[in-house]
Amino acid sequence: MVVQANRYLLLLVAAAVLAAGKGDDSEQCGVYIAESSTDHVLGSFAGKSYQRDELIGSSDAIVQAFDLRYHNRNEDEQFTAMLITFLERVGRRILMGGQPRQRSSAGHVGMINAVIYQPATLLKSDTDLLSSGYDESTSPGRGAFTLHHNLTLIAVDKITAGSEIFLDFGSEYNGYEDVTKANIDDYRKMDEAIEKIEAADEVYQFMKNDVLDLTAEARAPAARSLLPSTYHGLQEIMDKGGSALNTYPSVVKDVDWLKNNAYCQDNLVVGVSEIEHAGRGAFAKREMKKGEVVAPMPLVALNYGRKALTMTEYLNEHGQEVDSDEDAATTTVKTQQMLNYMLEHPQSSVLFFPAGPLVPYVNHGGKDANVKMIWSTKPWSNVKNAQKLEVESLSGVGAVDMIVELVATRGVIGLWREWAKAWKKHTDEWKKKMKKVTLKSAMVLNENHHSTEKAAPFPAPSEDDSDFGNENVALQCLLLYDVDKVERRRNEDGTRTKVYPWIPHPANANRLKTDSAIRSINRGGCRIVERSGDEASGYRYVVQPESNPDILVKNVPHSAIRFVDLPYRSPHHDETAFRHAIGFPDAIFPAAWKDLPGGYKDRDEL
């Protein structure tokens, strides 16, 4: 994340963390990044084997908040389309897994071996930041860094060392409902079944024809298509790593090949930056020698970046949004928070987003900088060609061909003066004009109720009728309930209300274990009606879902309730929040990309 505030390049690799993990298994890089086995795009590869349900990698990619709604409303279609393409590329990259390419009709989704582990972000904790002394009511870093974090992948299948990691981008994309094609669940079940079969052909035929019909039901034809005609082929399939890999062996690389030809993607871990007000920063997980690549920074170009990230709002005297040509409309100019994560050069109109896990956490190190940037040295990354292109073509270049390496050093690289000047100006002005913010953000409220120290219960209506007294936030619940177990409650006026029990998994569980209640599709506004339990036994709630106010859901666990910031009310919408891009070192900035030889004028509002 960013930092926020102080982010400039250069990581502060903290000495304290450097000592971590010597000589043990953590020395082995867990995730590599290299050219995908499927195409000339970036792919991620497992450096070690992962068990099903194991978390993959450094457990912290970041997510930027970006107000696309603004652009949908206000910009021309072509510009919005350009931004959407940019965001899609950034999103796909930052998730660090690749996407299995459709190569045959027979279930490319079988390659999927990882999903985003939604509970990691939905139930994230900010204890680290808040206990470090960060005070959102007074910090000049308020609103300068994203509060989304802890994006984590989980293995949904056994992943052998060297395998490419393929992510599930969602059931609509992958056509889960099509029963003629094997989906990720079919592959998983099939591998489970195959492992259990140690009997003869007769038993195998019985399994294949009869048992499968019972276990896979509607999906039996798809699942059956993954099996060989006789059981002798089974061991071979498992030896090759399961039913999906049997079809596509090239997705597994030799780990030694990865060591020599790929970038290690998990040298960094996230921690609270030692730079005051800087939020979180990147720290080295293992000892790194001078000259070693700390992290690859794949870039995604955003043409007309400064314009793209500027948001101009026209407001009437009541503060409502109006058309730009309306009389007496006042103009407010804000900048997307994403600017703080972008690299810029004063003589170029293009901005560059570092679309790799953890690299956007790299902060400005100033005199203590301990990494420098150089262009990729890997033969599979065609950075030479990208450096020759005109700016108009840059948005078409894949991140695979625009990789900058962060290399361990003690030297300081130049061109940070503009950023440092802007930050100083911001903090000086902040000190003079700072108004203490009194309404707490969702992050701080959630910490009260979900702190690892002492979690306060959410109040029942009898204890608080003020709706939390905070107009910037709303309460949301992660609700999945068993529709088959309805009870009816008699109300005082004689009417009855249906009450359903909360459940962690779908009652008809033929989906992944990770397909649980804690997913964003199950999250919505809710109102607490009653509370039971205590600190020792855990609090439980009866809630009324906003999407269906006629029913109640009981047994809702404390952990499934969270505050969220309402749109446009979170700290990053503060007009006073710091905004400035990171300097792209002039020494490595290609001449062909300097389309503004006279430089763009540094904006005064900073």
Ligand X SMILES: *[C@@H]1O[C@H](CO)[C@@H](O)[C@H](O)[C@H]1NC(C)=O
Site map for ligand X, 343-362, x if CB under 6 A? --------------------
Site for ligand X in 124-183 (CB under 6 A): 124-125, 150, 152
Of 114-122, 295-303, 538-546, 567-575, the segment contacting ligand X by CB under 6 A is 114-122
Shortest distance in whole angstroms from residue 528 CB to ligand X: 23
Shortest distance in whole angstroms from residue 11 CB to ligand X: 19
Taking the least distance from each CB to ligand X, the nearer of 120 and 445 is 120
Report d(CA 419, CA 424) in Å as an integer: 9
Shortest distance in whole angstroms from residue 150 CB to ligand X: 4
Site for ligand X in 52-111 (CB under 6 A): 59
Shortest distance in whole angstroms from residue 6 CB to ligand X: 21
User: What b-and-e string marks burial along 263-295, b requiring 16 or more CB atoms within 10 Å of the CB?
Assistant: bbbbbbbbbbbebebbbbbbbbbbbbeeebbbb
Report d(CA 128, CA 491) in Å as an integer: 45
Of 46-54, 112-120, 189-197, 530-538, the segment contacting ligand X by CB under 6 A is 112-120
Shortest distance in whole angstroms from residue 119 CB to ligand X: 5
Report d(CA 603, CA 587) in Å as an integer: 24
Taking the least distance from each CB to ligand X, the nearer of 131 and 495 is 131
399: its two tokens: 């991140």
Report d(CA 407, CA 540) in Å as an integer: 50
593: its two tokens: 């990309």
Helix (H, G, I), strand (E, B) or coil at 521: helix
Shortest distance in whole angstroms from residue 219 CB to ligand X: 29
Report d(CA 412, CA 426) in Å as an integer: 24
Taking the least distance from each CB to ligand X, the nearer of 101 and 519 is 519
251: its two tokens: 């997705």
Number of residues that bind ligand X (CB under 6 A): 8
CA 168-169-175 angle, to 5 degrees, is 85
Report d(CA 236, CA 250) in Å as an integer: 16
Of 34-42, 113-121, 307-315, 468-476, the segment contacting ligand X by CB under 6 A is 113-121
118 binds ligand X (CB under 6 A): no
Q: Could you write out the three-class secondary structure of 190-243?
A: HHHHHHHCCCCHHHHHHHHHHHHHHHHHHHHHHHHCCCCCCHHHHHHHHHCCCH
Report d(CA 144, CA 136) in Å as an integer: 11
Q: Which residue is nearest to ligand X (CB)?
A: 120
Helix (H) or strand (E) holding 293: strand 293-302
Q: How far is CA 262 from the centre of its chain?
A: 22
Taking the least distance from each CB to ligand X, the nearer of 153 and 479 is 153
119 binds ligand X (CB under 6 A): yes
Strand ordering across the sheet containing 164-165? 164-165, 42-46, 31-35, 263-264
Q: How far is CA 220 from the centre of its chain?
A: 34
In the chain, % helix, strand, coil (3-state, to 5) comes to 30, 25, 45
Taking the least distance from each CB to ligand X, the nearer of 53 and 192 is 53
Strand pairing category for 164-165 and 551-557 = unpaired
120 binds ligand X (CB under 6 A): yes
Cβ–Cβ < 8 Å for 301, 390: no
Cα distances (Å, whole numbers) of residue 291 to 288, 374, 405: 8, 11, 11
Taking the least distance from each CB to ligand X, the nearer of 50 and 430 is 50
Taking the least distance from each CB to ligand X, the nearer of 185 and 447 is 447
Taking the least distance from each CB to ligand X, the nearer of 59 and 348 is 59
Taking the least distance from each CB to ligand X, the nearer of 96 and 403 is 96
Shortest distance in whole angstroms from residue 125 CB to ligand X: 4
Shortest distance in whole angstroms from residue 605 CB to ligand X: 34
Shortest distance in whole angstroms from residue 578 CB to ligand X: 24
Cβ–Cβ < 8 Å for 240, 233: no
Site map for ligand X, 213-252, x if CB under 6 A? ----------------------------------------
Taking the least distance from each CB to ligand X, the nearer of 131 and 377 is 131
Shortest distance in whole angstroms from residue 120 CB to ligand X: 3
514 binds ligand X (CB under 6 A): no
Taking the least distance from each CB to ligand X, the nearer of 71 and 124 is 124
Of 116-124, 295-303, 417-425, 429-437, the segment contacting ligand X by CB under 6 A is 116-124
Shortest distance in whole angstroms from residue 124 CB to ligand X: 4
Shortest distance in whole angstroms from residue 59 CB to ligand X: 6
Of 91-99, 115-123, 292-300, 492-500, the segment contacting ligand X by CB under 6 A is 115-123
Taking the least distance from each CB to ligand X, the nearer of 44 and 150 is 150
Of 73-81, 120-128, 137-145, 327-335, the segment contacting ligand X by CB under 6 A is 120-128
Shortest distance in whole angstroms from residue 123 CB to ligand X: 7
Largest CA distance in the chain: 84
Taking the least distance from each CB to ligand X, the nearer of 155 and 399 is 155
Strand pairing category for 343-344 and 330-335 = unpaired
Taking the least distance from each CB to ligand X, the nearer of 405 and 565 is 565
Alpha helices (H) in 380-511, listed in sequence order:
383-388, 417-433, 442-450
Taking the least distance from each CB to ligand X, the nearer of 59 and 183 is 59
Shortest distance in whole angstroms from residue 441 CB to ligand X: 16
Alpha helices (H) in 26-113, listed in sequence order:
68-74, 77-94
Shortest distance in whole angstroms from residue 155 CB to ligand X: 13
Taking the least distance from each CB to ligand X, the nearer of 133 and 175 is 133
Cα distances (Å, whole numbers) of residue 19 to 16, 288, 289: 6, 10, 12
Shortest distance in whole angstroms from residue 318 CB to ligand X: 40
276: its two tokens: 């005051």
Residue ranges of E strands in 148-204? 151-155, 164-165
440 binds ligand X (CB under 6 A): no
Binding footprint of ligand X on the chain (CB under 6 A): 59, 117, 119-120, 124-125, 150, 152
